[in-house]
Structure 1
Amino acid sequence: MKEISQLPVFGVFITLLAFTIAVQIKKKWNYILFNPVLLAIIFIIIFLLVFDIDFEAYNKGGKFLSFFLGPAVVALGVFFYEKYAEVKQNLKPFIIAVTVGGVSGILSVVLILILFRVPDFIVQSMAAKSVTAPIAIEISRIAGGVPEITASIVIAVGIFGNAFGPLILKLLGIKNKIAIGAALGTSAHAIGTARAFEEGKLPGVYSGLAMCLNGIITALLAPYILDLFFSF
């Protein structure tokens, strides 16, 4: 097993197998906690621990899958092109909603952590919790946080939004597909966008746009917001 685990194809195979099994479990038992992304992560962690395989060995193949994240995000532009006329009509309220959501997302987590007197490096690491991992990690580095903590929190937030986001929005009485997409993309980045596409192409498009816009907003504002709070 040790020799096989050193092959790049090993990480790809284990990831695809874990996700396939997770999807089948979700189809058979449609329970909210049986989120395919969450289950796949748990399966992979258990497998690596049981067979005593280093994460670095697994990630040799994982890097190949990570490479496709870039093209996948760019591919969202195809859906945007198809829905451009409709998006254009709602552009102003959409930008306002995502901006308010992005800023409130930063302020809320920073305020809560400061009120609970959490160490500064944790606050700096979690300020960018709602944007996609590459952007969040760079923001964390600039702000003085710990990138490893940031990456973990970003994944956790994405999984939570994917699993519970639509349910929370439904309980709040939000049924508009555009609003659902914008909310998932703003709060749960790429993993939330994947869930938005399950709701339909239109919410998926708005979620992808919200994810990109919130990434820019957070990258620009998060360091200054942190400086403002820590200056008192």
Structure 2
Amino acid sequence: MKELISTPLFGIMLSLIAFEIGCIINKKTRLPIFNPLFISIVLVIAFLNIFNINVADYDKGGQFIAFFLSPATVILAVPLYKKIELLKSHAVPIISGITVGSIVSIITIISLCKLFGLPKTINVSLIPKSITVPIGIEVSKQLGGITSITVAVIILTGIIGAIIGPYICKFFKIKDKVAIGVAIGTASHAVGTTKAIEMGEIEGAMSSLSIGIAGIITVIIAPIIAKIFNVLM
């Protein structure tokens, strides 16, 4: 048994089985709170703790999955390609919305961290919370953050966005499909985009677009905004 646990196959199989269970529960309940990714994370953590398995052993397989994370994100360009004409006709409001959303996200995080007196390393680790993991890790490194915290908060942000995003849009009576897709993609990256794709092809395409643009904008403006806040506060 120890020989199996110490191989990458263990981490890969545990992740796949946990995620499949999450998908089954999600399909059976039809409740957004039972997000497959959220369920799989809980199951993996519980399994490792119950059987007292070292995280390093699990991560041998986890690294293989993480390796495919960046190229897998590229597939999100497919729904965008199908709706390229829609993008061209709404280019200005779409890009403006993503830009404003990214800036507000960064300013909100920095302001709350300053308000609660959190250390600078925690502050900068939380700044990339709304962009996809590969870009977020690089932004965190650039700002001097802790990448493990960054990854955790990005995943948490995505799950929360996927769960409550549709309800927020419904509460504020946002019915435009382009606006819904841009909002979800900008706020909750790839995990949120999976929910946007379920909502419709236009929502999914706009959400996919938002991931890339929000990532680029955050890379450019995050260091600038962080420096401004450090000088003023």
Length-normalised TM-score, structure 2: 0.94
Work out whether residues 2 and 53 of structure 1, in 8 Å CA contact, stay in contact via their aligned partners in 2: no
Distance 1:137 1:66 in 2: 12
Cα-to-partner distance string for 1:156-213 (whole Å, 9 max, x where unaligned): 1111111111111111111222111111110101111111111122211111110100
Structure 1 match to 2:82: 82
| Matching residue of 1:211 | 211
Contact map agreement 2:79 2:208 (CA 8 A) in 1: no
Residue aligning to 2:5: 5
Separation in structure 2 between the aligned mates of residue 59 and residue 118 of structure 1, nearest angstrom: 29
Contact 2:12/2:64 (CA < 8 Å) preserved in 1? yes
The equivalent residue for 2:192 is 192
Moved over 6 A (4+): none
- List gaps (5 residues or longer) in structure 2: none
Contact in 1 for aligned 2:98/2:213 (Cα 8 Å): yes
2:162 alignment partner AA: N
- Could you tell me how far 1:67 is from its partner in structure 2? 2.7
Is the partner of 2:130 in helix, strand or coil? Answer: coil
Whole-Å separation in 2 of the counterparts to 1:2 and 1:63: 19
In structure 2, give the amino acid aligned to 1:145. G
What amino acid is the match of 1:94?
I
Aligned mates of 1:126, 1:167 — CA distance in 2:
24
Sequence identity, in percent?
41
Q: Match of 2:92?
A: 92
CA distance in 2, matches of 1:138, 1:64: 19
Q: What amino acid maps onto 1:6 in structure 2? A: S
Question: Which piece of structure 1 moves more, 6-15 or 187-196?
Answer: 6-15
**Which residue of the partner structure matches residue 40 of structure 1?**
40
Structure 2: distance between partners of 1:135 and 1:35: 23
Q: What is the aligned partner in structure 2 of residue 181 from structure 1?
A: 181
